[in-house]
Amino acid sequence: MAAPAEPEAEPEVAQRFLAGLADPIARLAREQGVIEAYLPTTPIEADEPLAWLTFSIIGQQISRRAARAVFGRLRDRLGGDLEAPALAALPEADLRELGFSYAKARAVRELAAAVASGELVFSELHDLSDAQAQARLVALRGIGPWSAQVFLLRRLRRPDVFPAGDMGLRRAIVSLDDLPRLPTVAEAGQRAVAWRPYRSYAAKYLWNHYAAGE
């Protein structure tokens, strides 16, 4: 198995590695060329990690447009910035008025409280392995494997993360492998093992493939 490259060479090495595999992903890597695996995917990507995870919780089971609206109202309610102490202190009733469900209001307040108290320190996640960082995040209410994995990929810039529960990735695998049905989350995760240690890049190639409708 190829060793992960130094950060400055990573996109080129990942593309060359995936393009050289005896695997259908090689065609995507050759066609798309060198890519940036960690490009933003949310309207609040430039904000702090707390804002990113809050948006992730808000967006569960609702459209991206609706999530942006709720998040915008929350940010306005807090004066433009999501500070952990202020968010943790926001009454549940206020969150419900902004469009939160009961479960999401509770999850967001508990997340903010963990950050405010120092129970969760985002900078410490950089020193953990992928598995350890994911476990730390999914221990929080409202943060599931998909949210944790995408956080590792997008925010922590980990090169070998594959959010197998992502519907777009699973549909892209159907196209890639000409499958008769959608793979399960477990099957998608097992399929991605062949793309280690650059599963984050394979995911990006697949997302691009799916977005292009190929």
CA distances from 66 to 7, 53, 75, 159 (A): 36, 16, 14, 30
> Contact, 87 vs 108, CB < 8 A?
yes
The verdict on whether 130 is a catalytic residue reads no
Contacts of 120 (CB under 8 A, 6+ apart): 111, 114, 136, 140
158 residue type, one letter: R
Q: Among 47, 127, 130, 166, which one carries the catalytic annotation? A: 166
Radius of gyration of the chain (CA): 18
Contacts of 183 (CB under 8 A, 6+ apart): 170, 173, 174, 191
Q: What is the DSSP string of 108-139?
A: HHHHHHHHHHTSS-GGGGGGS-HHHHHHHHHT
CA atoms 122, 55, 99, 86: torsion sign: positive
Spatial distance between the Cα atoms of 164 and 39, rounded to a whole number of angstroms: 18
> Contact, 132 vs 97, CB < 8 A?
no
Residues serving a catalytic function are: 166
